[in-house]
Structure 1
Amino acid sequence: MTRSGRNPEKRVKTARGRTASSNRWLSRQLNDPYVKQAKAEGYRSRAAYKLIELDEKFGLLKGAQRVVDLGIAPGGWSQVVRKMAPRAAIVGIDLLPTEPIEGVTIFQMDFMADEAPEALEGALDGPPDLVLSDMAANTVGHKQTDHLRTMGLVETAVDFAIQTLAPGGAFVAKVFAGGTDSELLTLLKQNFATVKHAKPPASRKGSSEWYVIAQGFKGR
């Protein structure tokens, strides 16, 4: 603590072999209040607060009974669902390994695989009323390519939601700067009562990520 009463930012000690970008990332982590809060409250990642903030604004988890978490790793969003809707059945999927979460069925597999939708549906006793997607494609450093790859995941998630959601259900997905492309936005508006974009406070200011929130699924 300084004489002014402010906590000075933690400085990252330089290390051989560590890149400048790695140092910036580590410095940001050490000084990020959401990272500190996540550790204090037992969440696996700061991303948990993005869902908490979206839920505060849109009431996504109120009355949720069956939830699908696409891109579950490391598990922060499912932890939030468990806390906010403790009676909900939850199933998640990710290419990356995810430590077990009590009350959550987790598949380590590619969501784009043909067998993935059936596996997710089979783990729930009925259609989901909420499909969450925090998926993003691995970046290659080319902005347009990265955007297209992530939007490919979003399109697949939208198709899954439309095919599986219960009437009145909701869909949330991470998109990037520019939001959802026009064709996908039209598809969402055709199938949901309301479609909005939001950037929760927990999303870093320098990040291009946004979320699309579609509520009131009209049914098939």
Structure 2
Amino acid sequence: MRAGRRQLRGGRREAAEVEAPALSRLRSPGRLRCCPVGPGRLCCRSVRPGRSVGPACQGGRMGFGVQITVDAHDPGKLAEFWALALGYVVQPPPPGFDDWPTFLVSIGIPQDQHDRASALVDPDGAGPRLFFQKVPEDKTAKNRVHLDVNVGAGSDDRQAAARAHQATLEAAGATLLRVVDEPGGWCLVMQDPEGNEFCLQ
């Protein structure tokens, strides 16, 4: 079987391009979403059971991964807030290290720079990584890009689910700015502890 696989951080293989006849020999073909990329060839993306995904390929190519980067005064503290907001976890240190300080020392990062960044990952491996980097300047204007946190998905009462999460996040330092109730949709517009806007819906 001929296969070209993209190796991801942590050793996880996300996608493969395989010859069509070989697809039946893959260990879990029911968990792959494939589309043709040429005569007798398929481009496939792994699919977690029960998770809805978009098209596997765009014009015969895999979509690009994305990381969301956030400027912060205190990356570690802001990362903890967003872990709570999104159900994410702080990214574990590389294999062979019990914690991040030990790893940073091993690559020559001075101790006074250990607070310059933090990162979050989706424990299910589906959502994008969030990277928080330390900057000296304050936020001075409304974000041109923000996150919509869809906490009401699958709930019988989406607004109640959003309100419950609102209370949790306010206890962690978030602020409610306003409620949007329009024909196009309903959401709670909020700010995180450093003033970045986001929406709960």
The structure with more helix, counted as a fraction of residues: 1
Which of 1 and 2 has greater Rg? Answer: 2
The structure with more strand, counted as a fraction of residues: 2
TM beyond 0.5: no
